[in-house]
Structure 1
Amino acid sequence: MKIVNKLKYIGLAMLTLFVSACEEGFDDINTDPNSPVEVPASTLLTNGIFNVGYTYWDRDLNFEFGELMVQHMAQNEYTEEQRYSFATSDFNFRWGNLYSGQNVAAPTGGLYDLSVARALVEENENLSDAQRANQLAVIDIYMSFGFQTITDLWGDVPYSQAFQPGEYPFPAYDAQADIYTGMISTVTNAVNSIDTSVDGFTSGDILFSGDMAAWEAFGNALLIRMGMRVGNSAAVAAGFGGTLPTSDIMLTFDANQDVANPFYQDKVISSRDDFRISAELVAAMNAQSDPRLAMYAMPAPGSTEIVGMPYGLGDGAAFTLKNSTSDIHTNIEDDPTAPAYLFSMAELEFFRAEAIVSGYITGNDATAFAAAIDHSVAQWGASSPGYGASIAYGSSNAEKLNAIALQKWIALYTNGVEAFAEWRRLDHPALTPSANMAPGVTGIPVRMLYPNTEDGTNGDNLAAVGTVDLGTPVGWDN
């Protein structure tokens, strides 16, 4: 994978903290005439794809928030996050990274670079209409992937007025329902505009190397994910009715430490050792003799067994158990090239099973359920033929949906962003909050807090959202 110089475009990434596009498909993006852009759209695409995917998989969103909230992992020291001790300032970095990619420890770029790339594509007179449509589809699909991450974590966010600093220096916050309507419309239009017989980006596409059929499949997968998240049966049916992925969609990393897998950067480069697999996840997997457990964590020191860290302990109690509990598997933490899974085949089949149970599509839900588990087993490199069919599924719809939710929770290990979203949406498994919660917190957080930087720069529009705290559900979680 080609990697751009991480400092070359920092000026672009710092231009704005605001992102978005019009609900109908990012058609009104404006560029600042006082900040001319000379970077090729393909280079901005590289930077944007990498940095949105990196941030999605990074410590701050992924394993220090999402993975902890769903109790896949537990902290063995510095346990503030698993005790839900958060301040608004803790989310400045998270918000800034997704909107502008301001992570100085990794390549900068984010969604803003994609918005600039989109404007350049629209203005490029050397492209045929079909090439332009394909390139715009690529950008629209990936920007929607990034926007879904943002709104799932914060709810109402700047969307229809963002990325237009000349016209909207203080962008309004859109309601999450409107954002989802806009994203589904955008991705639908993008998928329908793709011509797989024509080139898209001939360079810069580090996700699919210009394969427009793969982008079409990714778009349909996102329609399914978005539709299931908000109960839009038409979007789900449209996604399943189109071209679908035939393998996991992954963002690959590089052995270069600046662009290595975030787990590797955290454990090896930064010498952090703050996480263990949770006792809660280990117990659930042991209960079904799950072959993936040996790929999720290492045996505890001096043992052949995997021993989970009890979730939610305070600093002293957690540190006492640090050297007698199981670390995250070396294949996850010690490999700089281990990929980020943006959409897995297991997730697709779990959605299929649920969509059949919910009456959105037709098919055999039990077959899809077993296939989802088997895809996950294969994803993790475990060998257990027919394991999926051995897992209890149930007969009533309620039993089936709980079985899907439990198995998806297990399968989404290391993907904290999606695990956190699906746990909130499906309300299963039942997780017990930390017994050492910070004062004023009443349960497991169900959202991120708005950053205090936003209060300082766009305070009036933020105030219009109303008062929220860690226990305030986002729109689709109500």
Structure 2
Amino acid sequence: MTKTILKYSGALILLASLAITGCKKLDDMNRDPTKPTVTEPQYLLTGAQKSTMDMLYNGLQNGYIAMSYAQFWTGTSRTNDSQYTLDEGNNAAFWNTLYRVSLHNLDDLVKQNNEKLSEPGVANQNAIAKITSAWIFQILADTYGNVPYTAAFQNATNITPKYDDAQTIYSSLIDTLTAQIGILDSAQTSFTSGDVIYNGDVMQWKKLASSLLLRMAIRMADADPAKAKQVIEANYQNALSSNADNAQFQYLDGAPNQYPQNEAQRPVIDFAVSATLVDYMKSVNDPRLEIYARPSHADDTIKGMLYGWAASDSNRLALDHYSYPGPQVYSATMPGILMSYSEVEFILAEAAARGMNVGDAATHYNNGVTASISYWRSLTNNTDITDATIQAYLDKVPYVAADWRNVIGTQKWLSLYPQGFQAWFERTRLHFSKPGGEPLFIAPYSKSLDLSAPFVPYRLTYPQSEQTQNKASYDAAVSAIGADTKGNKLWFNKF
């Protein structure tokens, strides 16, 4: 695995260069015949996995945007982001990296492999690449709404791809994932190197594909309940079934392969844990609190900062009085989580609460809470958290059928830390409060600099470059979704 990532590190620059070149119609010009123009499939896969994870867990994208919108963290000195002012550079980097590097790698992988489909393991490689692409395309659709999809990689010279309807993208991705489950063959090899997530284990990729189908289906449960029910009931028995199945990208303790946001080189002090998170976890004596947050320097207690509190406010104490995120989520070897067993169980708990035939809601809920706490206990070697600790916690936060949206929503939100994007998507989709109905989230404490910002953004606005480089497609997309604003709800946001 180490050699795979190190080989990838050098290849990324080449791959990014090739991707950008293709987008600028230079595919057949400025080509140096002494340098390679194709890369082996295993390196393309590693590149796609790492570049995506780097975006999902970077301080600029995850910290300033997603962890902020999920209200897990709040900015310390740079507080505009916690007041919903979107940094266009960070936004553009997210969009461009996922398209020009991650998805471009996977598209190249499949196109190269299509020339040798009769060779052993190639069909499995393509299926794994397509599952990975589906994961990334859903992230883009959930972040922006309508995005380039069918025309994104139609040919190397198309720099103005049309945007597809997000709900239609979902339907296509569901078909794609279903097809790959049928194609994956455990009797054949796949990737013997390059797959950092599952090391080429075909059966694990089948489980992940089924689990991604559950994620997609539950997200559309309020918009298309019949389709959601069909997909979930058809796939839930084949999804991730323990923490051993968790899909994650294991970073290494050495540059450039460390977890993107780590304090191996310098202390990371850009974010404080929000009072929203800390105060709720304290109120229920959550055993994960001491993992999610570290004690303040001033008084050695865990204290959250009010969300969106401006540094210029004289009532805000010095930073030493507030808690930074815990050491584990700033560790160089923190894994990038793609999907976890606990998320699957919370999906099934919600599905059962909605009347789907997937078992007992309370059992799935308890499994989800237990899996999340057990995961962090194992990751941090925390011997203070025992099975009795977990049971005592479950007694404090029991499943309540009449209040399922708030009960499941709150615990699922806690379990998604530090998966900022997924937590943000679930916050806006489920629109949950604390169990019992008391508000959990607050508007930014200090006045937002973006006066048009809603209580929480439902989406990111399209990168500004799209307005100039792909104007016709951009204009059509804006017309289709209604407005290019952060307050414009996505198709699945019904609350």
The alignment's TM-score, normalised by the length of structure 1, stands at 0.89
User: Relative to 1, partners in 2 of residues 1:170 and 1:338: Cα closer, same or farther, differing over 3 Å?
Assistant: same
What CA distance in whole angstroms lies between the structure 1 residues aligned with 2:248 and 2:47? 16
- Given that 2:74 and 2:272 are in contact with CA atoms closer than 8 Å, whether structure 1 keeps it comes out as yes
In the alignment, does 2:326 pair up with 1:329?
yes
- Given that 1:200 and 1:212 are in contact with CA atoms closer than 8 Å, whether structure 2 keeps it comes out as yes
SS at match of 1:250: strand
In the alignment, does 2:426 pair up with 1:434?
no
Q: Tell me what 1:23 maps to.
A: none
Identify which of 440, 444, 453 aligns with 2:465: 453
Percent identity between the aligned chains? Answer: 26
Q: Tell me what 2:419 maps to.
A: 415
Q: Which amino acid aligns with 1:404?
A: I
SS at match of 2:357: coil
What CA distance in whole angstroms lies between the structure 2 residues aligned with 1:243 and 1:408? 17
Compare 159-168 and 177-186 and name the one that shifted more. 159-168
- Given that 2:47 and 2:105 are in contact with CA atoms closer than 8 Å, whether structure 1 keeps it comes out as yes
- Displacement of 1:126 in angstroms is 6.0
User: Relative to 1, partners in 2 of residues 1:136 and 1:85: Cα closer, same or farther, differing over 3 Å?
Assistant: same
- Displacement of 1:60 in angstroms is 2.8
What CA distance in whole angstroms lies between the structure 2 residues aligned with 1:166 and 1:111? 13
SS at match of 1:204: coil
- Given that 1:52 and 1:98 are in contact with CA atoms closer than 8 Å, whether structure 2 keeps it comes out as yes
- Displacement of 1:316 in angstroms is 2.0
What CA distance in whole angstroms lies between the structure 1 residues aligned with 2:239 and 2:68? 34
SS at match of 2:248: strand
- Displacement of 1:342 in angstroms is 1.1
Q: Which amino acid aligns with 1:144?
A: A
Structure 2: gaps of 5 or more residues: 222-227, 378-384, 434-438
SS at match of 1:386: helix
Deviation by residue 1:144-177 (Cα, 9 ceiling, x = unmatched): 1111111111110000111123474311000100
Q: Tell me what 2:159 maps to.
A: 169
- Given that 1:373 and 1:388 are in contact with CA atoms closer than 8 Å, whether structure 2 keeps it comes out as no
SS at match of 1:367: helix
- Displacement of 1:270 in angstroms is 5.5
- Given that 1:224 and 1:235 are in contact with CA atoms closer than 8 Å, whether structure 2 keeps it comes out as yes
- Displacement of 1:14 in angstroms is 3.6
Q: Tell me what 1:240 maps to.
A: 236
Compare 4-13 and 38-47 and name the one that shifted more. 4-13
Q: How do 1:242-261 and structure 2 match up within 5 A?
A: 242-247=238-243, 248-261=246-259
Identify which of 318, 339, 343 aligns with 1:343: 339
User: Relative to 1, partners in 2 of residues 1:16 and 1:39: Cα closer, same or farther, differing over 3 Å?
Assistant: closer
Q: Tell me what 1:390 maps to.
A: 395
- Displacement of 1:293 in angstroms is 0.5
The alignment's TM-score, normalised by the length of structure 2, stands at 0.86
- Displacement of 1:281 in angstroms is 0.8
- Displacement of 1:220 in angstroms is 0.7
Q: Which amino acid aligns with 1:413?
A: Y
Q: Tell me what 1:352 maps to.
A: 348
Q: How do 1:29-44 and structure 2 match up within 5 A?
A: 37-44=37-44
In the alignment, does 2:219 pair up with 1:229?
yes
Identify which of 359, 372, 377 aligns with 1:376: 372
What CA distance in whole angstroms lies between the structure 2 residues aligned with 1:79 and 1:211? 43
CA RMSD, Structure 1 to Structure 2 (Å): 2.3
- Given that 2:161 and 2:473 are in contact with CA atoms closer than 8 Å, whether structure 1 keeps it comes out as yes
- Given that 1:297 and 1:306 are in contact with CA atoms closer than 8 Å, whether structure 2 keeps it comes out as yes
- Displacement of 1:379 in angstroms is 1.3
User: Relative to 1, partners in 2 of residues 1:277 and 1:184: Cα closer, same or farther, differing over 3 Å?
Assistant: same
- Given that 1:153 and 1:448 are in contact with CA atoms closer than 8 Å, whether structure 2 keeps it comes out as yes
- Given that 1:180 and 1:226 are in contact with CA atoms closer than 8 Å, whether structure 2 keeps it comes out as yes
Q: Which amino acid aligns with 1:303?
A: D
Structure 1: gaps of 5 or more residues: 20-30, 102-109
SS at match of 1:464: helix
Report the number of matched residues.
454
Q: Which amino acid aligns with 1:66?
A: A
